[in-house]
Amino acid sequence: MTLWGGRFSTKLNDQAWDLNTSLPVDQRMALQDVDGSLAWADAIHKAGILSDEEHEQIARGLVAVRVEFASGQFSFVPSDEDIHTAVERRLGELIGAAAGKLHTGRSRNDQVATDFRLWMLQVIPQLDSAFINLQSALVEQAELAGETLMPGYTHLQRAQPILLSHWWLSHFHPLQRDRQRLVDLTKRVSVLPLGCGALAGTPVPVDRSVLAVALNFAEPSPNSLDAVSDRDFAAEFLFCATLTGVHLSKLAEQIVLYTSAEFGFFELSDAYSTGSSLMPQKKNPDVFELTRGKAGTLLGLLTGLLATLKGLPSTYDKDLQEDKAPVFAAADTLLMMLPILAGALRTITAKPERMRNAIDSFMMATDLADYLVGKGIPFRETHAIAGKAVRLAGEKKLGLEEISLEAYQVLSPAFEADVYQVFDPLESVKRRNAIGGTSPKAVAMQIAECKSQNSK
Ligand code: ARG
């Protein structure tokens, strides 16, 4: 039985039924649907719609339905159009006629929006824990790296030496912002649509503020027309997920690059790499490539929902039923990827020698310019002088450290014998000691800060 058969003479066409039914997707909100119904039953009991006995029956019945869902015992029947219908149908089977009073003053429009928000409110903390776990893996690697040096790149061209630990932590902070975004989103998810009816509000004199507290929402929605159609929280969630996807993709892209033979900066553990069916020697970074790939899929989910929302008139439209699948898919994707990445990063091996060998003296050309600044020459001039040194070295096929002091002094009389000290990459790194820099001291402070953020 559908919840709306009264005015129809024939049943819905089978294929139209398949199109219309949302049970395959929204059954994931079963527990939220029951919880929302329990709170609604309390509210309409207080408002005088349910007698004490009816209320007691409904509450007992709903708890039984909840147990069935929680234990995997619940059986759907073919006529269950959506999760709301299924719960009400089962309640009727368990307690009889009183079940028919539960839907008084309520619509599936305010109900589904409530269930969806309840679902999101429980998934955000799960995601937060998964973020924290991945962040700890990054911090562990940063600590393990000690004073290991690696080349830092801009434009994917060798730029300046950095600490490997600094690089690891550069992937911590985007995830921290992702966590903050989800916490901030929680405020907007925590607005209760229940009690808005189909669109115009409920005629039952329920206290929606009490209802909001009962369901752990911060406040009731202020406008019923907006409340039944507001899916901003779903779009925002997908944006958050997509941006996380972009962050993970950036990390993944670097791991893919750095595990190639050409770089050889890292080696993946066998548990997180895959082979080739044809080439026996291959060890492929599929986990990281898929991470990169999922970012594209997540973006598709976001644009898909925004396209659905665009152009809808005010209040509930059935198009909105398309809202849950992308959000569930995005949450599932992140809840799968975050722990896998944590595992893959915890077991990755750094190759400090390969990293060190990829640092050449040209990466200290900025230090060379800074050296002359130390001798009182303005940076604009020293930049040009260091540039000439680079050109000279290129012409002579030498490293900057191989150019003779005499040749340096032709470029500027300010050069002295101590110039060769600037080509020590560890010293170069140590000089970048201001907050946020790559010096061992600054990075140690950063590690401490990350650890304390991570434990909040
Ligand atoms: N399955 C619907 C959805 O997910 C529930 C609301 C249906 N409301 C309605 N008036 N048909 O959006």
Residue 276 above 90 pLDDT? no
18-104 topology per CATH: Fumarase C; Chain B, domain 1 (1.10.275)
State in Å: Cα 381 to ligand 1 middle. Answer: 70
Q: Residue range 10-30: average pLDDT?
A: 95
Q: Classify 311 as helix, strand or coil.
A: coil
In this predicted structure, the answer to whether residue 443 has a pLDDT above a threshold of 90 is: yes
pLDDT one-digit tens code per residue, 345-396: 999 999 999 999 999 999 999 999 999 999 999 999 999 999 999 999 999 9
Tokens read off for 355: 């990293």
Residue 151's φ and ψ, nearest 5 degrees, are -75, 140
User: Domain limits of the chain?
Assistant: 18-104, 109-357, 361-423
Is 39:110 a contact under the CB 8 Å cutoff? Answer: no
Q: Which atom of ligand 1 is nearest to the CA of 198?
A: 10
Report the residue among 17, 108, 230 best suited for mutation to probe ligand 1: largest number of ligand atoms under 8 A from its CB: 108
pLDDT per position as a tens digit, 383-438: 999 999 999 999 999 999 999 999 999 999 999 999 999 999 999 999 999 999 99
Q: pLDDT tier at 1 (50, 70, 90 boundaries)?
A: low
What is the tens place of the pLDDT at every residue in 33-52?
A: 999 999 999 999 999 999 99
SS (H, E, C) 268-287: CCHHHCECCCCCCCCCECHH
By the 10 Å C-beta count (0-12 exposed, 13-18 middle, 19+ buried), 456 is classed as exposed
**What is d(CA 78, CA 409) in angstroms, rounded to the nearest whole number?**
89
Average pLDDT along the chain: 96
Q: Is 276 a catalytic residue?
A: yes
| Per-residue model confidence as pLDDT tens digits over 96-150 | 999 999 999 999 999 999 999 999 999 999 999 999 999 999 999 999 999 999 9
Enumerate residues 6+ apart whose C-beta is below 8 A from 36.
111, 114, 115, 118, 194, 215
In the residue annotation, 79 being an active-site residue is answered as: no
List of long-range contacts for 445-450, beta carbons under 8 Å, 24+ apart: 446/166, 446/169, 447/139, 447/142, 447/143, 447/165, 447/169, 450/135, 450/138, 450/139, 450/142, 450/169, 450/172, 450/173, 450/176
CATH class of 361-423: mainly alpha
Q: What is the CATH number of domain 109-357?
A: 1.20.200.10
Q: Give the whole-angstrom CA distance, residue 37 versus residue 32.
A: 8
Cβ atoms of residues 216 and 114 within 8 Å? no
Mutation probe of ligand 1 site: the residue of 2, 308, 318, 327 with most atoms within 8 A of C-beta: 318
Report the pLDDT value the prediction gives residue 5, as an integer from 0 to 100.
75
Instruction: Return the structure tokens found at 415.
Output: 């050069």
